[in-house]
Each structure stands twice: as C-alpha cells, then as structure tokens.
C-alpha cells in the first residue's frame, strides 16, 4: 500500500518518536511504500520519501522557536501538500494538528487514520487528576496529562476528521467507546519491540527476587503503588528493586522515604533498558492510565515477567506471561510478588513463557497487523460525522 505517514514531532526520539519510527521501518521492510512527513529525525529511516517540516539546511528548528501551535499548523499544511502529490491509499496521522492533511486525504479518496497512543485525552486527564488530588500533589506536580482545553479541542477536531482511530490496546479502545465513538471507527492494532542480540534464558535459582520499574516517575505510572507493594512483600526481604526513569520533583519528594528503603535504588533515565530488564526477574508497572507500554513488550523479550495493571495495555496472558491486577490494587501486586518469590519453579516457567511469546511481539509482527488494519480501512467511506457523539 501507499502511505503518507505524518508525524509532527521528532521521528525516532524517545517515547512516541520511537514507536512511530518502528512503524515506518516495519511497514517499509514489509514492502509498503511509505512517505514520511516529520518535524525532524533523531535517527535515519528507510522510506520511499522523507520531508522534514521543521528543519533548515539540515538543522532542526525546535517547536518552541516558532511557537508550538504555529509549528503544528505549518507541519499539517506541508503534510497536506504531500498527500495531494502522492495520492496515497492511507493517511496515517499522529497528534497534533492534522486538519489540513485529513482534508487532503479525504479529497484524494484515502482512508484517514488517527493514531491514539494513549487513552482518550479526557479520560486520561480525569484519571491523572484524581490520583494527583488523592496524593495531595495538586499544586506540586504538572505533567503532560494535565488538563488543557485548547489541546483537547485540537485533538477532538482530529478524531472527528479521521475515518477511524488506531487503538494499540483494549484500554485505549474502551476509552474511545466510552466517549461515544462507534465500534467500527476504532481499529485495533498493536505495538512491538526490537529483539536484542543479547542471549537471554529463563530465570532460575532459589534466590531473592530482582524487580525493576521502568518509566517516568509520576503519579500516572503508579510508582507509589509499586513501592507500597514491594515494601509489604516478602520479596523485599533481601530482594532488589531498581527504579529506572526520570523523577518529577514534587513526586520524588513524596516518595523519598520509600525510595530510600534498603534494596531500593534509583538510577535515573537509561538508554539501555534491555540490559536492566535482562538483569531482572520481574517488571513492575502498576500504571493508572496508558496506551500500550512498550516496556511490557521489551520485558517479555528479555524473559522478565511483567506484573502490570490492566491499564498498561500489555499483550500477555494473565498467569502465563505475567500477572495482571486492577489499577490501584496494591494487595494484588504484593501477592504476585510473593508468589514469584516463594515459588522459584513458577518464576522459571513464567520467564520461559515470556521468551516463547516474544517472537509474536516484534515490530515486524506489529507492522503486519497494521497493514491488515490499513486494508480494512481502505474499504470504508469517509467519516460520517453523525455516526458518533461529538
């Protein structure tokens, strides 16, 4: 298929930039014709063509230098011109500012698909605000998930203009259904991971558990729940918990005592997450709101057992490749830690199950699923604005 892939951020940068870059690479390896329009590149990309919208003479211009909203509008107009020139089958849009490109896509008869890397924005804000308030951090923590009416207006316009929403997990799909989107406007695909060259084996041995948390230290990701469960578990008696990721200052202050417990160490941001996962038995991710956390794919590829909430969007079978709990259920997470601490045979079996599952979690498999979704979307008419609640 011929695809115009519009990404108004830096393709290949950590976070959604890494996700989008892998989508382009996977589609290209599968033989699809992908035309990229991106604000900038953090790493080389294989594609039929690449247009950079915030670069001059090979140097990237930061969004803030021209104003974020103005930068998004400029990118959107450039993407629209590319759509009209290429006349693709699919216009794949990432947030934000995708009105002109979506219009151009409909004009040339393309299916316009809007990526939803997180749950519906209003849902995400509600969940995060409730947890920030519960922790008494209302005036001390501001995150990317702090409510912003103008931001929501822009996103709503993008969703309205799309043929369908690309949902990488069931929590994302459910949040859009709850917001009034019809089932046939939500297309399920998935994310993936890149296998490491490192040889990994199932975890063996009767020894204290080694756990790791990977992610931004913020209320949304539930690190406070991970620490509470760890502190109450038998695994904390001689075991190790490594916290990998940048910490929001106000949140770090709240967790200072727990982060200073024996066996708990914080290492900050790391670009070598695969090594940390390969050295750990379990991944703790009791997130309260998420799209589909890439670290849950990487963990299984490293034989590291995910202990995650249902909100993590993990692709796994509960009790086989990992354990799943309801967001905020510290007792369940504590019990999962205890089970793997007291039963080394279960730990080995579940680690081996992760490694067996890993080949189904790669970005190449994800690209094949995305292509199936593209094909499904190509048979649809442009969006009927009366099919769903605005």
Both structure tokens of 106: 């409909």
Q: For the chain, how big is the Rg over CA atoms in Å? A: 21
φ, ψ at 280 (rounded to 5°): -120, 155
Residues in the chain, overall count: 390
Is 0.85 surpassed by the pTM of this model? yes
For the chain, residues classed under CATH 3.40.50.2000 are 2-192+364-378, 210-361
pLDDT tens digits for range 302-342: 999 999 999 999 999 999 999 999 999 999 999 999 999 99
Write down the H helix ranges in the chain. Answer: 16-29, 63-66, 68-86, 99-107, 121-134, 149-161, 170-178, 223-232, 249-254, 256-259, 273-278, 294-301, 330-342, 344-357, 363-378
User: For 25-70, what is each residue's pLDDT tens digit?
Assistant: 999 999 999 999 999 999 999 999 999 998 776 677 777 777 777 8
Q: Which CATH number fits domain 210-361: 3.30.930.10, 3.40.50.2000, 1.20.1440.230, 3.40.50.10680?
A: 3.40.50.2000
pLDDT surpasses 50 at 384: no
CATH assignment of 2-192+364-378? 3.40.50.2000
Question: Which pLDDT score, from 0 to 100, does residue 155 have?
Answer: 83
Rounded CA separation 390/387 (Å): 9
Q: What does the pLDDT read at residue 81? A: 96
């Amino acid at each position: 298929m011929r695809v115009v892939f519009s990404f108004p951020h830096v393709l290949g940068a950590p976070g959604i930039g890494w996700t989008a870059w892998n989508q382009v690479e996977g589609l290209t390896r599968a033989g699809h014709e992908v035309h990229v329009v991106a604000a900038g590149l953090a790493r080389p990309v294989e594609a039929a063509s690449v247009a950079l919208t915030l670069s001059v003479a090979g140097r990237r211009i930061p969004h803030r230098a021209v104003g974020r909203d103005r930068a998004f509008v400029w990118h959107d107009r450039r993407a629209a011109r590319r759509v009209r020139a290429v006349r693709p089958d699919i216009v794949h849009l990432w947030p934000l500012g995708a009105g002109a490109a979506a219009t151009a896509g409909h004009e040339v008869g393309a299916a316009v698909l809007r990526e939803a890397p997180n749950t519906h924005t209003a849902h995400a804000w509600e969940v995060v605000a409730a947890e920030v308030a519960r922790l008494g951090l209302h005036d001390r923590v501001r995150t990317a998930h702090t409510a912003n009416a103008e931001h929501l207006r822009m996103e709503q316009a993008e969703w309205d203009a799309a043929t369908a929403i690309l949902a990488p997990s069931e929590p994302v799909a459910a949040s859009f259904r709850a917001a009034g989107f019809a089932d046939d406007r939500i297309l399920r695909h998935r994310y993936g991971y890149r296998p490491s060259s490192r040889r990994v084996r199932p975890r063996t041995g009767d020894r204290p558990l080694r756990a790791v948390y990977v992610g931004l230290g913020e209320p949304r990701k539930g690190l406070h729940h991970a620490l509470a469960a760890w502190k109450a578990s038998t695994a904390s008696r001689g075991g190790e918990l490594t916290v990998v990721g940048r910490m929001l200052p106000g949140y770090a202050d709240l967790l200072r005592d727990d982060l200073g417990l024996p066996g708990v160490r914080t290492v900050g941001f790391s670009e070598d997450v695969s090594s940390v996962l390969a050295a750990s038995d379990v991944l703790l991710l009791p997130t309260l709101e998420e799209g589909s956390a890439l670290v849950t794919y990487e963990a299984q590829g490293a034989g590291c057992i995910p202990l995650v909430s249902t909100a993590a969007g993990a692709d796994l079978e509960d009790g086989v490749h990992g354990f799943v709990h309801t967001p905020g259920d510290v007792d369940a997470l504590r019990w999962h830690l205890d089970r793997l601490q007291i039963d080394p045979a279960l730990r080995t079996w579940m680690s081996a199950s992760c490694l067996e599952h890993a080949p189904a979690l790669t970005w190449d498999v994800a690209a094949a699923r995305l292509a199936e979704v593209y094909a499904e979307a190509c048979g649809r008419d442009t969006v009927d604005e009366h099919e769903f609640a605005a």
